[in-house]
Amino acid sequence: MDPSITAQVATITKRLNTAVDVKPLPRVLVSDSDAYTVASLPGGWVVVSAKMVTLLGANPDALAGILAHEYAHVEDNDALKQMTGAMGADTMVSLTIQGKYTEASNVAVQLMNFSHNMDDEEKADTEGVRIASSAGYDPKGILTAINTLEAVTPLSDAQWLAVHPVNAKRLRMLAGDVAVYAADQQKK
């Protein structure tokens, strides 16, 4: 993998880490997936594809916006809630106690293909804008990222949009969040 890709991600995550109130800090991995994807996983992991970094990397605010959205999912333990909901808490505890981490991690990877519920997405949007803005990034970055992903051809490659459904209501709410934090940045 091109070291400049991981360096870009490291630079952004270092700044994002200053704006979150979660311990341990999210751990970000760059994958060599051939899809435009970024996802949060149980245990504080965020996985972003090199293809996504390449697409958004020319605009650090866009990449920071989409990573900050996933950081918000980490802060709220959304992936763990989703996993335990999908498998049931009993099964997860049983697999962990039996030392069957491979089975549990396989389920985590499968969860990358499922959507969070819209309440989780809207909350992650708001918190992601706050995180990106607090880290010094332009809060409009997430909107730029979404517009860039929507312009990708073929759209089926934009896996992030497939599992993070974007509709008119969500975009209006997100634009409102962006306006609040953009105004705060201008006052500073």
CB-facing half-sphere around the CA of 41: CA atoms within 13 A: 19
Q: What is the pTM of this model?
A: 0.77
Sheet with strand 45-49: strands edge to edge: 27-31, 45-49, 38-41
Task: Tell me the pLDDT band of 152, cut-offs 50, 70 and 90.
Answer: confident
| 124 within 8 A of 95, measured Cβ to Cβ | no
Across all residues in the chain, what is the average pLDDT? 79
User: Could you report the per-residue pLDDT of 59-70, keeping only the tens digit for each?
Assistant: 999 999 999 999
CB-facing half-sphere around the CA of 17: CA atoms within 13 A: 15
